[in-house]
Structure 1
Amino acid sequence: MHLAVIDPLPMYRQGVVAVLSAAGHQVEVPPDPMKWAQSRPADLVLITLASIEDWDLLSQLRETAPEQHVIAVMTEASAEVGVRAVRAGAQSVLHREVTADALQRTVEATIDGQTVLPVAVAAMLAGGAVDGVTRQAITKVELTWLRHLAAGMTVAELARLAGYSERAMFRLLQGVYRQLGARSRIEAIIRAQEQGWLRTS
């Protein structure tokens, strides 16, 4: 299996390539990640989520190469970011500052079809369900998005406010809707309202 490493820092990329190459993997740093993924739809991409463009790329990978193994590398130790990465299409999530051994273990497990998550991310995803809806998996940021939508804000306006492209915002919201068991924005807002999550006081 071939691996692609996508990270903005050359030194970090070189370190990851060295570690994984030493473990026997064929590792590349493709100049065009989407083209690489489309040519190798069942291989593995290790992508650091450091910018809006990285989140867009993660979503695009899931759309165009759904069989691709994807490991999201977080630049901050945030369970909410980890949950968001899983919703956007990551199979596994790890922190950028993990050890070489942890990196290798995560890559091997992901290749074998397993999911590796930080404990806090797994706990948030598996939080207590109420009427089939997982409250802990809806982050504070996502609740804010739902409140804005409930107040009449458009997706385009929300995207500008949140700092995403409209396309990325749409994908992220689709993940929130799925987490709520909703098929549309209206249904998601109704479910959130029924749970009392849209109250600001």
Structure 2
Amino acid sequence: MDLAVIDPLPMYRHGVVAVLSTAGYQVETPADPLGWARQGRPGLVLLTLATAADWDLLNQLREDAPRRRVIVVLSGDESAGPGARAVRAGAQSVLPRQVTAKALLRTVEATIDGQSVLPTAVALVLAGRDADPVITTDQMAWLHHLAAGMTVAELARRAGYSERAMFRLLQSLYRQLGA
């Protein structure tokens, strides 16, 4: 079975290719992932979702190359919401970016065999058991203030953080919410 690795970071991409090649897989890093996927042969795509364009590619793979199985790689601490979104968009399996070589190989083998491998948090979200992330009272207040028109700078001053720290806290909150 053909495998393609699509990741923006050359060192990570080459490391994944090395692990999979050592295990005996034919691995490519196509410049045109959709063209590669449309070739019609069954295969597997290991796709890192880092930008909106990556999410668009995932949707296009589902539509244009449904025989290709997709393993999504997610970075960040909170992957339950984005992981569930990726499965709904057509991914068969979800991996965290910091996965070990052993777990990567197990996931590739399982996905080729028609099984899905998901972090427990992603499975719980898909099952509806953890669909509403728990956020703190402060975080809820931040969202209300922002919705009411308060700027991040004003919110930071009010909450006692630097503006930069507030941006980081909000980014983490957005990831937790799957936004």
TM beyond 0.5: yes
Tell me the SS of whatever aligns to 1:39: coil
Report the equivalent of 1:62: 62
Where in structure 2 are the equivalents of 1:128-139 lying within 5 Å? 128=129, 136-137=130-131
Where in structure 2 are the equivalents of 1:149-164 lying within 5 Å? none
Matched, 1:103 2:104: yes
Report the equivalent of 1:123: 124
Q: In 1, distance between residues paired with 2:120 and 2:132? A: 17
Matched, 1:84 2:85: yes
Give the letter aligned to residue 15 of structure 2. G
Give the CA deviation at 1:93.
0.3
5+ residue gaps, structure 1 = 129-135, 141-201
Maintained 8 Å contact 2:4/2:45: yes
Give the letter aligned to residue 86 of structure 1. V
Runs of 4+ in 1 over 2 A off after TM superposition: 136-140
Q: In 1, distance between residues paired with 2:56 and 2:132? A: 20
Q: In 1, distance between residues paired with 2:13 and 2:40? A: 20
Q: In 2, distance between residues paired with 1:46 and 1:111? A: 12
1:55-86, Cα deviation, whole Å (9 max, x unpaired): 00000000011111100000123200100110
Maintained 8 Å contact 1:41/1:66: no
Tell me the SS of whatever aligns to 1:46: strand
Maintained 8 Å contact 1:3/1:45: yes
Give the CA deviation at 1:139.
7.3
TM normalised by structure 1 equals 0.63
Q: In 2, distance between residues paired with 1:40 and 1:108? A: 20
Identity of aligned residues (%): 67
Size of the alignment, in residue pairs? 133
RMSD of Structure 2 on Structure 1 (CA): 1.6
Tell me the SS of whatever aligns to 1:70: strand
Report the equivalent of 1:196: none
Matched, 1:38 2:38: yes
Report the equivalent of 1:177: none
Maintained 8 Å contact 1:41/1:65: no
Q: In 2, distance between residues paired with 1:112 and 1:63? A: 21
Which of 1 and 2 has higher RCO (CA within 8 Å, sep 6+)? 2
State which structure, 1 or 2, has the greater radius of gyration over its C-alpha atoms.
2
Report the equivalent of 1:113: 114
Maintained 8 Å contact 2:40/2:67: no
